[in-house]
Chain A
Amino acid sequence: MNGALNFQSRGRQSNRRSSSGHAITEFAVGLIVLIGFVFAPLFNIAIIPIRYLIVEGAMTEMSHRVVLCEKRTEAYDMFTKDPWFTSILEKCSVTIANPKLKLTIISKDGSSQIAVPNGVSIPAEWLPDGSFQPSLYSMELSADCSIAPLFSSAAGLPGFTSPITLHLHTSSPWENFSRNPITSQYFVNE
């Protein structure tokens, strides 16, 4: 009787030990597979759209700020000297390369357009009282943005283990169409 009871209790113990251990082993493997091959890569990739949205927002904000300047030269100055743009993107692990700001004028019917870079005057026919009027004046901001995933290294698959580089551009319409009373020139041409 005693022997039967001992056998019973031993059976229960071994059963409990082996089944729980089996679950832990299975659980650990499952967890590693899940975290290593599903969770981490997904999280790694999922941060890129969030950062992309932030970059897009920052670029839109910057292009909107520069068009509020009085003169076009002030807009270029703000773009090159204002630390806000680069600092906010650095905080989001986004590296900016080849940032460019240019004035684009498009005739209202869209048939012709001209790009005016920094330091170049607008041709007379494209001025607000020129022959190509009415036209749309906008400041276009473009840059190559390297958006890093959450865990990244220098080399590897872009977007998964290394930053993905996107060429982004935003534009905002120029605001100040008045003339400078000192020079009689349009502020957009100064």
Chain B
Amino acid sequence: MSVLNNIQRNSKIRSRCNRRQLRQSSGSVLILAMVVIGLLAVSLLIGYSYGGLFFEHNRLQASANEMALAAARKLNDKDRIGQMNNMIARNRQIVFSGRQQLDECKEKYPGIAWLAEDLLDESRDSAKTLEAQRKQLSIVAKKEARLAMEKKFEEINKTYAMYLPWMKVEEPLLAGWQCGRVVNTESNVEVLKNIPELESFDLEQNYASTAGMKLYKHDIDAKLPSDDSDLTFKISALSAPVMKTVAPARIILNANYDTVIGDNLPSACRVKVWLPVGTGLGPNASSKMSCIGAASATGGSTQQ
């Protein structure tokens, strides 16, 4: 009896086991399918997120360009650099002309030489004042450009942060900025034509370009001859108005940006920004995306 009972019990256990195993085996495929589809979805999501880094880079480049443009626009605000270049060139002409008049008076009209001397001294003093103002303008223009750039940076930097379990994008960092000029750009001032001696002196000294519009070259100290050689006449780079067309402020290629020589006035800006990015899943890696934006200031206006 006991053997029969055992056999019956065993058969019951076996059928229960079989049912359970059937349930388990059919369920395992369903679970597996769900797991595989889930993994596929997650891997695609991660793939798309990393593909999105390419767009983040483009966005960062656009932000760097915007910041550089905001700064560059401020540099020549109300044509202050263009006007300074023009004032320096005209003052230089006045000093040269004053020296000529004094020499002529001493030779022909010694009685009024004192008057010519006063005029010359006045123009020389103006040259010194202008030089001081030029230095001041350089400080003010750079400071205002920096403020404009930082304001733009504050506007955009809050829109970047993105924290996903597998990827982190932090807020961008301002790595640095510079003021400079655009390559192959001379000054906005045409060689003044009223005094032929000065014109020929300038061409002789290689102060002016000879092709097309005769513009004073960029970043020169156009020293005058002999007694007035102690004065400083620094003319900076700035796009010249051509046929009344003023060059608008614009984004330029980083390759077309160059530094200014000495303490000359700037006419372009360059901004470098970093965007820290990192991975969250698997190996914890972090890196910085880097973008450089450059922009040119508005060109000089036509002089009346």
- Those of B26-54 within 8 Å (CB) of chain A: 26, 28-29, 32-33, 36-37, 40, 43-44, 47-48, 51-52, 54
The complex places the Cα of A64 from the Cα of B18 at a distance, in Å, of 68
| Given A43-B43, A54-B54, A178-B248, 20 extra CB contacts under 8 A | A8-B6, A11-B14, A26-B29, A38-B33, A38-B37, A46-B40, A50-B51, A53-B54, A54-B51, A57-B54, A57-B55, A68-B251, A69-B253, A128-B245, A176-B247, A178-B299, A180-B212, A180-B242, A181-B213, A182-B209
The answer to whether B47 and A30 touch across the interface, beta carbons within 8 angstroms, is no
The complex places the Cα of A188 from the Cα of B63 at a distance, in Å, of 25
The answer to whether B211 and A70 touch across the interface, beta carbons within 8 angstroms, is no
- The answer, yes or no, to whether B256 is at the interface (CB within 8 Å) is yes
- Those of B2-20 within 8 Å (CB) of chain A: 3, 6-7, 10, 14, 17-18
The answer to whether A175 and B25 touch across the interface, beta carbons within 8 angstroms, is no
Nearest chain B CB to A181's CB is how many angstroms away? 4
The complex places the Cα of A183 from the Cα of B240 at a distance, in Å, of 13
- The answer, yes or no, to whether A125 is at the interface (CB within 8 Å) is no
Nearest chain B CB to A29's CB is how many angstroms away? 9
Residues of B within 8 Å of A84, CB to CB, are none
The complex places the Cα of A183 from the Cα of B212 at a distance, in Å, of 6
Residues of B within 8 Å of A58, CB to CB, are 54
Nearest chain A CB to B3's CB is how many angstroms away? 5
- Given A129-B245, A178-B299, A179-B245: A23 and B21 within 8 A (CB)? yes
Interface SS majority for chain A: helix
Question: Can you name 28 A-B residue pairings with CB atoms under 8 Å?
Answer: A4-B6, A4-B7, A7-B7, A15-B14, A15-B17, A19-B18, A22-B25, A26-B28, A34-B32, A38-B33, A38-B36, A46-B44, A49-B48, A53-B55, A57-B55, A60-B58, A68-B252, A129-B245, A177-B248, A178-B239, A178-B247, A178-B248, A178-B299, A181-B209, A182-B209, A182-B213, A184-B213, A186-B245
Residues of A within 8 Å of B132, CB to CB, are none
- The answer, yes or no, to whether B243 is at the interface (CB within 8 Å) is yes
Nearest chain B CB to A27's CB is how many angstroms away? 6
- Given A15-B14, A182-B211: A61 and B25 within 8 A (CB)? no
- The answer, yes or no, to whether A154 is at the interface (CB within 8 Å) is no
Which residues on B are within 8 Å of A, measured CB to CB?
3, 6-7, 10, 14, 17-18, 21, 24-26, 28-29, 32-33, 36-37, 40, 43-44, 47-48, 51-52, 54-55, 58, 61, 184, 186, 209, 211-213, 215, 239-240, 242-243, 245-248, 250-253, 256, 299
Closest to A179 in B: B242
Closest to B54 in A: A57
Closest to B211 in A: A182
- The answer, yes or no, to whether A151 is at the interface (CB within 8 Å) is no
Q: Please tell me which one of the listed residues B7, B17, B215 contacts residue A19 in the complex, with CB atoms under 8 A apart.
A: B17
The complex places the Cα of A68 from the Cα of B292 at a distance, in Å, of 13
- Give the size range of A's interface with the partner: 35 or more
The answer to whether A181 and B215 touch across the interface, beta carbons within 8 angstroms, is yes
The answer to whether B3 and A34 touch across the interface, beta carbons within 8 angstroms, is no
Residues of A within 8 Å of B248, CB to CB, are 177-178
Which residues on A are within 8 Å of B, measured CB to CB?
1, 4, 7-8, 11-12, 15, 19, 22-23, 26-27, 30-31, 34-35, 38-39, 42-43, 46-47, 49-50, 53-54, 57-58, 60-61, 64-65, 68-70, 128-129, 175-184, 186
Task: Count contacts between A and B, CB distance < 8 Å.
Answer: 122
- Given A39-B36, A42-B40, A57-B54: A65 and B245 within 8 A (CB)? no
Nearest chain B CB to A123's CB is how many angstroms away? 18
The complex places the Cα of A49 from the Cα of B25 at a distance, in Å, of 36
The complex places the Cα of A60 from the Cα of B239 at a distance, in Å, of 28
The answer to whether A57 and B58 touch across the interface, beta carbons within 8 angstroms, is yes
Nearest chain A CB to B229's CB is how many angstroms away? 28
The complex places the Cα of A35 from the Cα of B40 at a distance, in Å, of 11
- Given A15-B18, A26-B29, A68-B251: A181 and B245 within 8 A (CB)? no
The answer to whether B40 and A43 touch across the interface, beta carbons within 8 angstroms, is yes
Residues of A within 8 Å of B43, CB to CB, are 43
Name the residue among B18, B21, B48, B240 with the largest chain A CB count within 10 angstroms. Answer: B21
The answer to whether A179 and B243 touch across the interface, beta carbons within 8 angstroms, is yes
The complex places the Cα of A30 from the Cα of B58 at a distance, in Å, of 44
Residues of B within 8 Å of A57, CB to CB, are 54-55, 58
Residues of B within 8 Å of A46, CB to CB, are 40, 44, 47
Nearest chain B CB to A142's CB is how many angstroms away? 19
